[in-house]
Structure formats: structure tokens, C-alpha cells
Amino acid sequence: MNNREFFIQRLQAETPAMLKVIRALPAGKLDYRPHPRSRSAGELVAVLAAEAAACVEMCAKGEINWAEPQAATATEQAAVDYERCQKEFADLVRKADDATWDNKKVPLLMGGQKVHEGTLSGLSWEMLFDAVHHRGQLSTYIRPMGGKVPSIYGPSADDAG
């Protein structure tokens, strides 16, 4: 198994866990934030969906034009958007040849300015790791919001998995 195949495998393994966490957030409480400097649950959900869309853009257009998204107001629509984009992203990565995956440079732009650049492979892994990080943040919000934390890699106190 090469790096690209392993990436697709990990992306497909992480997506269901991401969807469980998004869907576990109590409706009507997406404005919850544990600290004034923290992103709200709705903002984190929007970032997850926007990162998934950015990965599609990265493969389809060869660049990411990042703009901070507006906070999500509905978890189900964000989950549907996230799942659709992750499937499309995996399909695009499958179609890439190994040379493109390993060597194609992709700029990350903010406001039209390049702030970062990496290979398709490198940025794909960075985006996946960042999403896992944000999923971890969200999972710590669920119980204080009044919800039940789903099983992610194993049982939680609320879900035996």
C-alpha cells in the first residue's frame, strides 16, 4: 500500500467518526463555546465542512482559496455537505497518479495571498489532521451542551460503541 492508498483508507475511516460527532451536537445549541476566545460549536462544524470542500477545490483546481466560513446553524446539513465532499475528495485522490499526489504543489490562499504551500499529499494530510483536531474539540463540547459523546475510536462514557 502506498501513501495515497493509505490516505484514502484513513480518510474513509475518519469520515464516519466525524459524522457521528457532528450529529451528536444538540440542536439549537451551536452557539455554545467553552471560553470567549474559543470557536463556537457552529463555527467548528462550519470549519469541518469548509475544509472538506477546500480539499475538493485543491484537487479540482490546484489551489485552495480559504475564507473563514459562517457558523453552521444546522448540524444535519453540515453533515450531509461534509460527507458529500469527503466522498468527492476520495474519488479525486483515487484518480490522481502517484507523481501528482507526491509532487504537485498546491498554494493555500487567503484573501488572494499565498500563505502556505505544500504538495497535494502534504496538504491532504494536513487537512485531515486539522479536521481530526477540530473533531476532538467538538467532542469535548458535546456533554456540556447536554448531549451524549459518541464512540470515536472506542467506547465513550455515553456510547459503548
Per-state percent for the chain, helix, strand, coil, to nearest 5: 60, 10, 30
In a domain, 147, yes or no: no
Q: In what order do the strands lie in the sheet with 113-119?
A: 64-66, 105-110, 113-119
In a domain, 149, yes or no: no
In a domain, 85, yes or no: yes
Determine the average pLDDT of the residues in 109-119. 96
In a domain, 65, yes or no: yes
Which structural domain range is residue 58 located in?
Answer: 3-142
- For residue 120, which phi and psi values (nearest 5 degrees)? -55, -45
In a domain, 126, yes or no: yes
In a domain, 152, yes or no: no
Q: Three cell numbers at 96?
A: 490522481
pLDDT tens readout for residues 34-68? 999 999 999 999 999 999 999 999 999 999 999 99
Residue 134 belongs to a domain with what CATH number? 1.20.120.450
In a domain, 127, yes or no: yes
In the DSSP assignment, the letter for residue 26 is P
Q: How many domains does the chain have?
A: 1
pLDDT tens readout for residues 132-144? 999 999 999 999 9
> Considering the entire predicted model, what is its pTM?
0.94
pLDDT category at 161 given cuts 50, 70, 90 is confident
In a domain, 160, yes or no: no
